[in-house]
Amino acid sequence: MAHDAPIQRTAPIAIAPKPPRPEPLPLPRRQNSSHRFEIGPASLHGRGSIDSGSFLGAAAPPCQACRFSGTRCTVAEDDDGCMPCQLNGTECSLVSPSPQTRKRKLNGDSADESVKRGSPGIPSRRNHNSSLSSTAASSSFLEDMANVGGPTMLKRTLGLQDDRYSQYIGPTTDFEPSLINLSPFDTHDESLLARGTLRKVSDSDTFLMLPDHSTPGYDHVIEDLDAIEAIVAPHGRKLIDLYFRVVHPGMPIIQKTVFMEKYERSYREFSPPILAAVYILAINWWDHHDDLSKLPRPDVRELERLVRTTLEDAMYRPKLSTVQAGLLLSQRPEGDQWAPTAQLVAIAQELGLHLDCSGWKIPPWEKGLRRRLAWALYMQDKWGALVHGRPSHIFPSNWAVRPLRANDFPDVEWDENDQEERQDIEKGRLVFTRFVQLSEILSVILDTFYTLQAMQTVSNAGNGGTQLVLSLAKPIQLKLKEWYGGLPTNIRLDSYSASKMSSRLSCIGYLHLGYFATEITLHRRIIRSLASNTSSVDSYVQHICRSAAKARLISAMDFVNRLMPNHIQSFWYFASKTNFALIGTFGSLLWATSPGREEAEWYRRRLGEYRWTLSVSSKPGQSKGLTEFAMTMLDISTGLLKQLPEKPSMSRTGSMADFSAMSMPSSYSGGVNILGSFSNLPSTDVSNAQSPRSESESSDEGMGDDDYATPM
């Protein structure tokens, strides 16, 4: 597809002549919490010289736009329709058709208006009495109006406008911040320049708003949307419902209310890649829908072809929906590629997702959406770096996003009569938030042990490398212990295992699997260090570290063994298939570094049991493919281990005795304080034992505070 030349960012800045600044708009008053508003000063709605009834429009029904959006329809004094329609540049059904629009004087000032419908970058020129409100109040009103729903919902957004896209102006670009502040901004916080429209969202953050129509592929948007919808027709709505029932709870990166409002009006209101991405993910659960399961599936390959081409076009006019589509496509079984993650990070920075939007002049719901998207991108980057073994793209020095809070999620996303749906949504939000926190710990592990500089530092330490690794690992282990101990009861595995007959899908599996993958990533570095410094590390320290690693392996295998069908069939984060494989990889590492034949044989048998568990979990109808990758990698690693030289037999009175003492599995149902307690455990041969199913679960608290203590 031929593309037009991209917009040059180095063109000279031509500041437009300062337009006459319109007077501020009236100050709104909230009527109640359901986003209905009263227009005008308080005197117009209370005791005053003007009849409040004439302004509230109580005697006449609301116009069609206000009825649709749930806004209080207030008739303007000049009878040119209602005030909400005037402020948003929409046609009002209260205006009777006439050859010429009526114009009246308001308090001696001209009430002439020049508003172009569908062009939010062109502000209203209607003048109002300056005593009615302040500029800040008018901005607040416009923000509220953009938040009430209906066709006006996206008018004042920054990253989801339907005809413009935004580019963040960084501190070192050809735009000088000092000169930007000299530009005249109107009541919409916008200033028209030769290169585009400046949009100031805070005292320090400014964006350049550019038109969509000048970007490559724009002329084909409707054609692409029609093609996407034709592939799934007439099942589009059922797939949308399936997506929000299965995927959305565990990955709430779409504003459901906005999405559904747009879809109810027309699928043509979407950006093609986000619509196709939602369909593609939902089709994975096609058989879970009573009606769809009896029908042939749509052509997924054609959908994937369309989403690739349309996503490429969308990157020329990036919006929040572009990041949403990219993140969703990464959750496909074959979608976890590293290069697209780099593109998503770049697009997100273009949209300012790496910034703190708390004080920005955008609708409150967009602030929450931006934070959720930002942290979802953070997770994508960190877990992508782990599973692909690549350097991360996001660094703390350029990450200012505020931690997620409860009010960053929509107030209502469920049917009030469906309590189970509400519980799924609330638990999904907890899973998502906790996974963000876990990803931050993972980021610390990657930065501390797996960057080129970090690995060189340990290498330069020579014989002291292991002690350095252990000293760095201890505070991270304590963070992991605190994280797991703080998990709410309703997202622990036992809360779902107790109701084994439940048919509700549960997304908590990817959270717990991610926890074990993080633990394993930490312990892998310790075991590697021990293997490279065997002669310089005290045998007691080696024993403590290997015992702790073994406890983690047993707990992880126990977790996989306890997964129920409602876990396996649910949504799993893209890194999950590799995280399943990492458990086997870790077991292979412990097998390879075992000092004696007996210990190596024990790991061989446990890995065989683990493979059997994976094979059971991958049977048809239970997310086939989720664990197949782990089985393949396990077969590869164990095949390589057959090339190891035969290990010596260890005496029962030597280190093998210590190994037998630690053969009692810690189980996922409870952690073991290795140090100081291993000598009290009975000697137990579990070489033929299956992974235990624990009847109850407490926290896997990890190791005690002294587990990584080294002799001084």
Angle at 520 between CA 383 and CA 659, to 5 degrees: 170
Convert the pLDDT of each residue in 323-361 to its tens digit: 999 999 999 877 778 999 999 999 999 999 999 999 999
Q: Which of 152, 170, 204 is the last residue of a domain?
A: 152
DSSP string, 173-235: SSS-HHHHTTS---TTSEEEBSS-EEEE-SSS-EEEEEEGGGSTTGGGHHHHHHHHHHHHTT-
Where does 267-320 show beta strands of DSSP type E?
none
Residues 403 and 486 placed together within one structural domain of the fold: no
Please identify which residue in the block is written with the tokens 């999950």: 576
- Mean pLDDT is lowest, of 38-42, 243-247, 553-557, for 38-42
Does residue 207 belong to any structural domain of this protein?
no
Between 371 and 702, name the one with better pLDDT.
371
DSSP string, 633-676: HHHHHHHHHTTSPPPPPPPTTTHHHHHHHT-S---TTS----TT
Residues of the chain with pLDDT > 90, as a percent, come to 54
Convert the pLDDT of each residue in 248-263 to its tens digit: 999 999 999 889 989 9
Residues 604 and 457 placed together within one structural domain of the fold: yes
Residue 141 has pLDDT above 70, yes or no: no
Residue 545 has pLDDT above 90, yes or no: yes
Backbone torsion region of residue 35, taken as left when φ is above 0, otherwise alpha when ψ lies between -120 and 50, otherwise beta? left
> Rounded to an integer, what distance in angstroms lies between the CA atom of residue 160 and that of residue 31?
27
Does residue 438 belong to any structural domain of this protein?
no
pLDDT value for 224: 97
Q: Give the mean pLDDT of 496-505.
A: 62
Q: Give the mean pLDDT of 453-464.
A: 94
pLDDT value for 534: 81
Convert the pLDDT of each residue in 143-195 to its tens digit: 444 444 444 556 678 998 989 999 999 999 988 888 888 889 999 999 999 99
Q: Give the mean pLDDT of 520-539.
A: 91
Q: Rounded to the nearest 5°, which phi and psi values hold at 79? A: 65, 20
- Domain range for residue 617? 450-500+508-680
Residues 302 and 380 placed together within one structural domain of the fold: yes
> Rounded to an integer, what distance in angstroms lies between the CA atom of residue 152 and that of residue 140?
15
Residue 278 has pLDDT above 90, yes or no: yes
Question: pLDDT band at 374, cuts 50/70/90?
Answer: very high
Residues 395 and 316 placed together within one structural domain of the fold: yes
Residues 225 and 330 placed together within one structural domain of the fold: yes
Residue 135 has pLDDT above 70, yes or no: no
pLDDT value for 536: 83
First to last CA, the chain: 66
Does residue 202 belong to any structural domain of this protein?
no
Residues 261 and 403 placed together within one structural domain of the fold: yes
Question: pLDDT band at 116, cuts 50/70/90?
Answer: very low
pLDDT value for 632: 92
Residue 131 has pLDDT above 50, yes or no: no
Between 333 and 275, name the one with better pLDDT.
275
For residues 536, 537, 540, 542, the Cα torsion angle rounded to the nearest 10 degrees is -130
Residues 223 and 355 placed together within one structural domain of the fold: yes
- What per-residue string of b and e applies to 224-244 under the rule 16 or more CB within 10 Å gives b? bbebbbebbeebbebbbebbb
Residues 522 and 403 placed together within one structural domain of the fold: no
Quick check: 481 and 513 in contact, CB under 8 A?
Answer: no
Residues 577 and 461 placed together within one structural domain of the fold: yes
Between 107 and 526, name the one with better pLDDT.
526
Give Cα 600 to chain centroid, integer Å. 41
Convert the pLDDT of each residue in 52-76 to its tens digit: 333 333 345 777 666 655 566 777 5
> Rounded to an integer, what distance in angstroms lies between the CA atom of residue 247 and that of residue 5?
38
Question: pLDDT band at 494, cuts 50/70/90?
Answer: confident
Residues 375 and 478 placed together within one structural domain of the fold: no
Does residue 429 belong to any structural domain of this protein?
no
Cα separation values, 297 from 142, 199, 388, Å: 44, 45, 32
pLDDT value for 60: 57
Residues 400 and 458 placed together within one structural domain of the fold: no
Q: Give the mean pLDDT of 80-89.
A: 63
Does residue 289 belong to any structural domain of this protein?
yes
Supply 384's token pair: 């992508």
Do strands 36-38 and 29-32 pair parallel, antiparallel, or not at all (unpaired)? antiparallel
Question: pLDDT band at 414, cuts 50/70/90?
Answer: confident
Question: pLDDT band at 601, cuts 50/70/90?
Answer: very high
Task: Provide the number of structural domains found in the chain.
Answer: 3
Residue 708 has pLDDT above 60, yes or no: no
Supply 188's token pair: 């919409």
Q: Give the mean pLDDT of 496-525.
A: 85
Does residue 700 belong to any structural domain of this protein?
no
Q: Which of 110, 137, 152 is the last residue of a domain?
A: 152
Does residue 655 belong to any structural domain of this protein?
yes
Residue 548 has pLDDT above 90, yes or no: yes
Do strands 105-106 and 109-110 pair parallel, antiparallel, or not at all (unpaired)? antiparallel
Does residue 137 belong to any structural domain of this protein?
yes
pLDDT value for 74: 73
Residues 97 and 227 placed together within one structural domain of the fold: no
Q: Which of 408, 435, 467 is the last residue of a domain?
A: 408
Residue 462 has pLDDT above 50, yes or no: yes
Question: pLDDT band at 495, cuts 50/70/90?
Answer: low
Residue 130 has pLDDT above 70, yes or no: no
Residue 535 has pLDDT above 50, yes or no: yes
pLDDT value for 234: 96
Q: Give the mean pLDDT of 625-650.
A: 87
Between 118 and 207, name the one with better pLDDT.
207
Question: pLDDT band at 134, cuts 50/70/90?
Answer: very low
> Rounded to an integer, what distance in angstroms lies between the CA atom of residue 508 and that of residue 134?
49
pLDDT value for 197: 94
Q: What is the mean pLDDT of the chain?
A: 77
